[in-house]
């Protein structure tokens, strides 16, 4: 179920508690001859995405509409026709209202939003399918009170770069509240402002980049349902912008999440969709990353031929990367990234020698601290697999020192995994590194 952020937003605007809404709905029902006995727990279920039966949605509109002194429709409270609240089937303005309602609920740490699980199966695939296929947005212009300028759009672009750097240095836990606060205070009013089609496309692109960062931070905070919803929003904004390259970048984020969730076939399919639909708009850096992640997925599925084919394509694309010719979003594809992805794929295939070669090359290439932690973790694992406990211990010590100060659930998971591998080696040479990791993990987020 999708959390009903629109109902949450209207409830807050009306100043009505969960228990208060239940009581008012019961009272409105009695006026129509209905015997209703709703309590606050029912409202909590509605906010989590459950649709109330019968005439109750209309009663909710009536109750909240009277409180706000305006007429409310079922769409206004997120209870419109099931299946109509997604993608191009909904007007772009309707999408904006749903998107901004989610940002607001996230900033307020609403449990039904923050703790919502990730969707799987068809609901996970539909946003990607809708991004790839018609209809397109023929006109994204909007009438509003405030005219959006290019200065506003440049502010959004600068904010995206700022929060991306903050994420790399401090982690997603610390960065998420800041980027979501910025979306609420700065991006939301602009999306509701006045702009022509051309300006609107640039606005949706700039906002899509920011929303993607919010999704990355949510993923790094271990809130995967929320991260997935941000990625789906970013994909819809990319479609409105008309920038296929941005959409392919967002799908790369979904591919990475699919790998983490062990949805390997989905990862392969999503990557293929991005490569196919973006066409000439896909850059060498993004193509390299997508092929490398496909290789990891194929390797996990036991398809060695598929993995090796994607590795070759990833390496070919990586050779075509030219600094200064990539968009800001693909800056994460730094030298050595493909190497560490390939190392992981080869490790899954049992090629320890090839994995060691690529992991060593990745570690030997300059990278920001976050990327370096992941590279050192991979090299530690391979060194342990090859029986080199002394080397693995030294590598793990450097990894732990690099991770200090970062508030990231993903990095903590990586440290725990390395800790388990070190402990399993049964070597005195790894004891110091394991103790150092224990100390790092005791620091609360």
Query: Residue 81's pLDDT band (boundaries 50, 70, 90)?
Result: low
Mean predicted confidence (pLDDT) in 240-267: 97
pLDDT of residue 85 exceeding 80, the answer is no
Query: Residue 147's pLDDT band (boundaries 50, 70, 90)?
Result: very high
Query: Residue 142's pLDDT band (boundaries 50, 70, 90)?
Result: very high
**Angle made by CA atoms 389, 391, 394, in degrees to the nearest 5:** 105
Mean predicted confidence (pLDDT) in 154-172: 96
Find out whether 113 and 169 touch, Cβ atoms under 8 Å.
Answer: no
Query: Residue 375's pLDDT band (boundaries 50, 70, 90)?
Result: very high
Angle between helices 389-403 and 369-385 (to 10 degrees): 160
Distance CA 431, CA 260 (A): 28
332: preceding bond cis by omega (within 30 degrees):
no
pLDDT at 82: 55
> Mean pLDDT score of the chain, rounded to an integer?
93
Query: Residue 357's pLDDT band (boundaries 50, 70, 90)?
Result: very high
Distance CA 177, CA 215 (A): 12
**Angle made by CA atoms 29, 31, 35, in degrees to the nearest 5:** 45
pLDDT at 377: 96
Query: Residue 427's pLDDT band (boundaries 50, 70, 90)?
Result: confident
pLDDT of residue 84 exceeding 50, the answer is no
Query: Residue 75's pLDDT band (boundaries 50, 70, 90)?
Result: confident
pLDDT tens across 23-63, in order?
A: 999 999 998 889 999 999 999 999 998 999 888 999 999 89
Mean predicted confidence (pLDDT) in 174-193: 97
Mean predicted confidence (pLDDT) in 441-445: 86
Q: Is 140 helix (H, G, I), strand (E, B) or coil?
A: coil
pTM for this prediction:
0.87
Mean predicted confidence (pLDDT) in 359-387: 94
């Amino acid at each position: 179920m999708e959390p009903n952020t629109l109902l949450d937003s209207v409830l807050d605007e009306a100043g009505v508690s969960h228990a208060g809404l239940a009581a008012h709905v019961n009272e409105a029902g009695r006026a129509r001859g209905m015997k209703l006995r709703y309590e606050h727990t029912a409202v909590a279920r509605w906010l989590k995405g459950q649709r109330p039966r019968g005439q109750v949605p209309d009663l909710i509109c009536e109750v909240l509409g009277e409180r706000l002194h305006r007429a409310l429709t079922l769409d206004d409270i997120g209870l419109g026709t099931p299946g109509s609240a997604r993608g191009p089937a909904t007007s772009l303005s309707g999408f904006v209202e749903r998107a901004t309602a989610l940002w607001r609920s996230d900033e307020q740490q609403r449990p039904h939003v923050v703790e919502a699980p990730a969707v799987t199966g068809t609901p996970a695939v539909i946003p990607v399918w809708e991004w790839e296929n018609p209809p397109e947005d023929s006109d994204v212009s909007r009438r509003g009170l405030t005219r959006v300028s290019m200065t506003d759009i440049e502010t959004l672009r600068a904010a995206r770069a700022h929060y991306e750097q903050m994420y790399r240095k401090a982690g997603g836990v610390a960065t998420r509240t800041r980027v979501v606060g910025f979306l609420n205070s700065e991006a939301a009013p602009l999306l509701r402002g006045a702009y022509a089609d051309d300006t609107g496309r640039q606005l949706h692109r700039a906002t899509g980049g920011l929303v993607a960062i919010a999704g990355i931070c949510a993923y790094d905070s271990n809130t995967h349902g929320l991260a997935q919803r941000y990625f789906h929003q970013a994909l819809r904004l990319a479609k409105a912008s008309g920038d296929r390259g941005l959409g392919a970048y967002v799908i790369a984020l979904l591919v990475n999440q699919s790998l983490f969730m062990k949805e390997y076939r989905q990862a392969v399919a999503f990557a293929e969709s991005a490569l196919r639909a973006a066409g000439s708009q896909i850059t060498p850096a993004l193509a390299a990353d997508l092929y490398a992640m496909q290789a990891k997925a194929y390797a996990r599925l036991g398809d060695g031929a598929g993995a090796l084919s994607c590795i070759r394509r990833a390496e070919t694309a990586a050779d075509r990367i030219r600094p200064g010719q990539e968009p800001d979003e693909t800056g994460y594809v730094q030298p050595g990234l493909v190497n560490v992805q390939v190392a992981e794929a080869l490790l899954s295939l049992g090629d320890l020698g090839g994995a060691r070669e690529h992991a060593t090359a990745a570690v030997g290439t300059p990278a920001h601290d976050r990327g370096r932690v992941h590279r050192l973790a991979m090299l530690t694992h391979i060194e342990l697999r090859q029986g080199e406990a002394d080397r693995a211990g030294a590598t793990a010590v450097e990894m732990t020192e690099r991770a200090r100060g970062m508030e990231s659930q993903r990095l903590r998971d990586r440290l725990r995994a390395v800790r388990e591998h070190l402990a399993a080696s049964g070597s005195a040479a790894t004891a110091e590194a394991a103790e150092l990791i224990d100390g790092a993990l005791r620091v609360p987020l």
